[in-house]
Amino acid sequence: MNLKQFLILVSIAFLFVGCSKDDTDEVNANMSITTFKLTSPAARTGVIDNTAKTVSFQPFEPKTDLTKVVVEITLASGATISPASKSTVDFSKGPVNFTVKNGSTTAVYAVTVTSEFAPAIAFIGEPNAAGSITEPDTKAAYEYLSGFFKENMKYLPFSQVNADAIKYVDVIVYYTDSEAGKNPSLLDAIPAVAKNASVITALKAWHAAGGHFVLGGHATQYLNDLGRIPSYNGVSYENNPYRAGIYGSGDGFWNWDQWGVNANLNVNNLATGSASNWNRTTHPIYQNCKQDSLSKVGVNAENPNKGSYGHLVVPTDSYGYKEDHNSMWDINHLRGIPAYSNLDAFQLADKFEQDMSCKILGTWGHVIDLCCGAVLELNARPSNAAEGSIIAIGHAAYDWDQKPQATAEAAPNWYLGNLTNTNIENTRYRTSNAVTYLLSK
């Protein structure tokens, strides 16, 4: 090959290379997205990378519905896109691919629309910081739940409760119990800071708009402050038949029984005029909870005998020291209402559920005639279908830290000294299940 032929070949090669680049630029220009905007749920202008084939946006505020996002797109002349401009697109599951076509050429853009993260759960309490919680049961409850739900739960003191602080919260957990030597009366079970008018106003509005509560221990008394206890003939709360009137706050005692909850409320099929299905064992709060029938587990020579409830219960407190801090409902109080005085126990419970807009989910482990309600699920009242739900757990066998209080009498001989509550997992399951269940509503 002579020099002239070589130079001709080189020139042709450059010509082809030049034509290829021009053609590529033209193709890229014809396939590009010019603008990509969102018009609903709020206006956003996307950042377009036509080289990487991506479009991204400033995140929306927490809890924004990303299932119905309206897009508005402009393209190079002759190009089309799918999904089309002005269509409604679901971005809730992650980036969505948009395909651009121009003639026989296609390009795929990954478009990402997100919302900011905010915890869906708030654990509220009197101390100004979680590290300042001193009551053992409350501290144990917070530590377990914060570890279980991790960044999806925050601690919120009552002093900081307002509409903005709970705007993005779906479930509020309030568990409270009295410390050794501090034995508040029924009317003093809820601290003054929780009853502050601004706090109550914010929580009522949040609940009316669909916010859910899990109330545990003495916190079931908070239902009255939240306006969820029906009024009756103008009587005071302490005389109201719908109050959580089975209440205790003493220093406790030693006991070798195993305590728990009966969720099969007519386990013995007692005769009744009620048509309700009283077996509540399949409710989601009992998922993974173990059941047994033991009322006494047998410890040593001083307590050798095992006992039985005669039916399955969900055990929650082992033998040992019991605080016995009930905050639950005596359904027989409704017998003071003349129209209800002649009803059988289960018919009376029907009326209780109707008037409270609730379902009774459990009673004391030994109870077979539904004389009392230990666990309730309150749902939206007929006056407000948007209202949230409340799981209220108020029986004494709801100890998160079943250890003797400082004021306890000397341990009996049968106490082994290193007792751990072998049923604590049932308390943990019921509470975390309650939160998870409410998050799904």
- E-strand stretches of 76-193: 80-82, 88-89, 96-102, 105-112, 121-125, 153-157, 171-176
- What is the C-alpha separation between 335 and 370, in angstroms, rounded? 14
Radius of gyration of the chain (CA): 31
- What is the C-alpha separation between 194 and 327, in angstroms, rounded? 17
Q: Tell me, what's the pLDDT at 220? A: 98
Q: Tell me, what's the pLDDT at 418? A: 60
Q: Tell me, what's the pLDDT at 290? A: 97
Q: Tell me, what's the pLDDT at 420? A: 76
Tell me if the domain spanning 30-112 has CATH number 3.30.930.10: no
- What is the C-alpha separation between 238 and 187, in angstroms, rounded? 8
Task: Read off the pTM.
Answer: 0.86
Any idea which residue has 């899990």 for tokens?
Answer: 214
CATH domain 121-439 topology: Rossmann fold (3.40.50)
Q: Tell me, what's the pLDDT at 319? A: 83
Q: Tell me, what's the pLDDT at 18? A: 42
Q: Tell me, what's the pLDDT at 181? A: 79
End-to-end CA distance of the chain: 82
Locate the domains of the chain by residue range: 30-112, 121-439
- Mean pLDDT per block of 10 residues along the chain (441 residues) reads 45 41 51 95 96 96 96 95 98 97 95 97 98 96 98 98 98 93 92 98 98 98 98 96 96 88 97 98 98 78 73 93 94 97 97 98 97 98 97 96 74 69 95 98 95
